[in-house]
Chain A
Amino acid sequence: MDNENHTTGSAEPHLGAPEDAGGVRVDTQDRMVIRFAGDSGDGMQLAGNRFTDAAAIFGNDLATLPTFPAEIRAPAGTLPGVSSFQIQIADWDILTPGGEPGVLVAMNPAALMVHLEDVREGGILLINEEAFDERNLYKAGFESNPLDDGTLAGFDVHLVPMETLTKAAVKGSGVSGRAVLRSKNFLALGLLLWMFGRETEVTARWVEKKFAKMEAVKNANLAALKAGYNYGITTESFSRQIEVRPASLPPGTYTNVNGNTALAWGLIAGSQLSGLPLFYASYPITPASDILHELARRQNFGVKTFQAEDEIAAAGVALGAAFTGALAVTGTSGPGLSLKGETISLAMTTELPMIIVDVQRGGPSTGLPTKPEQSDLFLAVWGRHGESPLPVVAASSPSDAFESAVEACRIALKYMTPVILLSDGYIATAAEPWRLPDLAGLPRFEVPFAAGPNAGDRFLPYLRNMETMARQWAVPGMPGLEHRIGGIEKEETTGNISYDPENHQLMTDIRAWKVANIANDIPEIEVDDPDGADLLVLSWGSTSSAIRAGVGNARNEGIEVAHARIRYLSPFPANMPTVLSSYKQVLIPEMNNGQLSRLVKAEFVTPVISLNKVTGVPFTAQEIAAKIMELAGR
């Protein structure tokens, strides 16, 4: 069983009637999972991304899951060196990158060793047979050659002499030596494009642009691409093409985007909606660095980026920028969030707006740097010394990262507070089609700048807007508003140092109330519950897509189940108590040991069933559906 099912379809993939297309059978399917796997130097991410673009432009819905080794270049041919890219394409609104691949491209024995067990029964294996020499088989841990020992029985196996074909194709392009075989990912890609009935034009245009300044490489890649495609046409071993028709998505203009890029763009949108220059300070860390890279290229948007000497400095530099009136952001992953904690507390108590992006990865400590986890939720909500509450917003998908970033900016500025924006390693690198928002329709932000003295001829930095409880933002350069703020407790309104017991109680209460009150300024959670179910599945973050898909699968089995996704994790939306009390059972699946579960239990004193997983691999819809069915007694 594949892991995500069309909500109107059956549990098994739709196999359309085979059509005859000049001797080649065409299977029409409503979706297909394809996985590219090879050595980390084999260019599998590139091949996967190019295939993704071709599928997107064709109009398929899609979701991707890149998987890299944590080492930049683990030894060639070994199991730790295997890099893979999975994509699910579909003719309907797909939510996850899928589970069992229907097609596996294996560039060497190690790739086959790591991924074969996942491939669906009867799945297509596209194998670079020339990599299966004794040395590579040994490195991958094969005792005999799987290509002829029966291991691959039951699969639709295609052995392709990729190296010979590539060498022949690139002859005359100008590349030589070891560079020749670098084009073999394009050969594999060309073959796959043929197999899925796609033209090579989209990819060829990309190659021409990307390698415009490297004539030989460009020619070699184009030649290999074409050769792979033609190999599909002419070789008798390929008697089958797969058709996945365009999806019927809501009308609009779409692009294909990963979460780090969308998040960076959301921050730029926040800058434009507030009229404040964006300032992003960060220390390189996987998997957040691409946000820094993306923003560093956007200086013409008035964006300043700063690569700090460490995580603490990155937070401090951002806080300094916030003091001057910039839209200040620092980005990191879990270990960095730990280090930034003291500075976030200072931002919280000085009541300066600032956004802290945490692209979560497997922890603790260095943990699994390239794998996703949702285990920083407690750290985000509670991980600071003292009473230091602040809003926490979580993105749930690559495209949702844009909107979540915009929301984080809005809340930070309106309420003069640091906001933690959670993403994770899956959202960061996965891609999906994104229906572009109507930018003109986005509301401008309120920014509580001080206009002048606010108490006679004096400026009191902690005088508040009694509706939002935000203080006024007076930035250096504004005459007459000179003031001092700091980490020592501040006297109400004046901001002067105060050790007065009652004042500390009051200020602690005000800060907590200010954040709690944001619950009234965020959307209520929407419950998807067509049948009036007894079971509610709550989701947050990147698991939301798999959970939505799993809920759909369970409904296909006739089970009544509701689903709601929470973007705002601190404070929770105002209707949470009502929603929770409407269901007999609440299930919370998370990639951690039950952090949202505990938050919900503590906050609403309600029983919760947890489904937890920390394997570094996202939930599949199947896992979610299985748990729902178990709870339904099936």
Chain B
Amino acid sequence: MSYTRVDFQTDQEVRWCPGCGDYTILAAVQNFMAGLDIERENVVFVSGIGCAARFPYYMNTYGMHSIHGRAPAIATGVAIANPRLSVWVVGGDGDLLSIGGNHLIHALRRNVDLTILLFNNQIYGLTKGQYSPTSEPGKATKSSPAGSLDYPFNPVSLAIGAEATFVARTLDMDRNHTTSMLKAAHQHRGSSLIEIYQNCNVFNDKAFIALTGKQERRENRINLVHGEPIVFGADREKAVVWEEGRAVIVNRASVDPSRIIVHNAHAEDASQAFALSRLAHGPYGPTPLGIFRDVYRPVYDDALEDQVTRSKAARGNGDLGKLLTSLGTWTVE
């Protein structure tokens, strides 16, 4: 069966603010889904609470709009109870990194087959503008009039530290890049996390201007491509090299080309991916986008299913009558 975008739209009116970055992400996901050879009934979207979390209501698949922070846990249950499903998690930075941080890191380390879309707008939108765990230090908001004292997470570093097997970053404004990240994440079996920089034009407008502005994006986007040397800049005049154990940005002309890091997203060791994630602590200057890490590790859902299958093969299908007598019995006449 082939689908078009319309098949993935619901009859529900989309109620994000006009101009919200969520619209472009929704369109990208619906288009992407239509191009897959996967039946609509085998797709499940699970979300927590927040603006982004309305997403399942707009996808004509199975879906659950659940509890603030708990989507990775609920989606884990969906995925391991039925490993034949394609399970997606949608949440914002408050949802997945603050109240739901614990579930996120544990889903990633277990490598449950989930594709997690982290809509990072660096603000609490639904509650009207408090600082989030990705807001820049010192950010003045309604709940931090004198400036936020929180030091933010770097979501990509966090995911890599949590043993994630697939970690990527993209941008709401760049539909093609978003689609290519969705494609790669979908092909990856196991947990995938895509951090999507998403503009909240009401409470945190232009937070990503360093990557979306006409001139700025040419200067600051570091596009990570597996197997290619990491060079960027308006005239590709910058490069990333190792220096004292760190990845650092240098003028390309100042180094021997052999010193430029060739991106290896498939390296089993996560050190290089982590080092690249440290090139930017937030979208304020040169910032890597693309796939940081994409490696294989046994998938939780498959491994559990395999244990059940092997147990049945080795011991036969469970017989409850036998189980009830397994501790020894005696008979009263």
Contacts and interface: CB of A to CB of B under 8 A. Distances in A.
Interface string B258-274: 00000000000000000
B70 A255 contact: no
A324 B330 contact: no
Contacts of B49: 487
Contacts, number: 210
Given A309-B102, A313-B70, 7 more contacts: A254-B329, A254-B332, A268-B323, A306-B77, A313-B102, A326-B82, A479-B40
B44 interface: yes
A297 to B, nearest CB: 9
Interface in B314-333: 314-318, 320-321, 323-325, 327-333
A257 to B, nearest CB: 6
Nearest to B84: A477
Interface in A379-428: none
Contacts of B320: 265, 268-269, 272, 301, 439
B64 A299 contact: no
Given A479-B41, A497-B12, A252 B70 contact: no
Interface in A494-508: 496-497
Instruction: Sort chain B's interface into a size bin.
Output: 35 or more
> What does DSSP make chain A's interface, helix, strand, loop or mixed?
mixed
A324 B85 contact: yes
Contacts of B296: none
Contacts of B44: 323, 476
A486 interface: yes
Interface of B: 10, 12, 39-44, 46, 49, 56-57, 59-67, 70, 73-82, 84-85, 102-103, 106, 304, 307-308, 311-312, 314-318, 320-321, 323-325, 327-333
B64 A304 contact: no
Contacts of A281: 77
Nearest to A59: B330
B80 A484 contact: no
Interface stretch (A74-82, A108-116, A314-322): A314-322
Given A254-B330, A265-B320, A321-B81, A436 B314 contact: no
Interface string A252-287: 111111000100010011001000010101000000
Contacts of B61: 482
A31 B76 CA distance: 52
A328 B82 CA distance: 13
Contact of B77 (A320, A475, A477, A496): A320
A346 B323 contact: no
B312 A488 contact: no
Nearest to A305: B304
A84 to B, nearest CB: 22
A79 B61 CA distance: 61
Interface in A172-201: none
A481 interface: yes
Contacts of B73: 308-309, 312-313, 315-317, 320
Given A299-B308, A484-B10, A328 B318 contact: no
Nearest to A302: B308
A350 interface: yes
Contacts of A443: none
Nearest to B78: A320
A271 to B, nearest CB: 9
A630 to B, nearest CB: 38
Contact of B41 (A298, A325, A328, A482): A482
Contacts of B57: 484, 486, 496-497
Contacts of B317: 300-302
Interface string A363-374: 000000000000
B40 A482 contact: yes
Nearest to B45: A484
Nearest to A206: B328
A601 interface: no
B331 A254 contact: yes
A308 B74 CA distance: 11
B64 A300 contact: no
A161 interface: no
A53 interface: yes
30 contacts: A57-B328, A59-B330, A59-B332, A253-B331, A279-B77, A300-B318, A301-B323, A306-B80, A309-B103, A312-B73, A313-B103, A317-B77, A320-B64, A320-B73, A320-B79, A320-B81, A321-B81, A322-B77, A324-B77, A326-B81, A328-B81, A342-B67, A435-B332, A476-B44, A482-B60, A482-B63, A483-B62, A484-B65, A486-B64, A497-B57
Contacts of A256: 327-328
Nearest to B321: A439
B325 A304 contact: no
Contacts of A301: 317-318, 320, 323
Contacts of B308: 299-300, 302-304
Contacts of A342: 67, 70
B85 A477 contact: yes
A343 interface: yes
Nearest to B71: A316
A435 to B, nearest CB: 8
Given A486-B65, A488-B65, A317 B312 contact: no
A317 B76 contact: yes
B70 A312 contact: yes
B332 A476 contact: no
B318 A324 contact: no
Nearest to B315: A300
Contacts of B10: 484
A343 B46 CA distance: 14
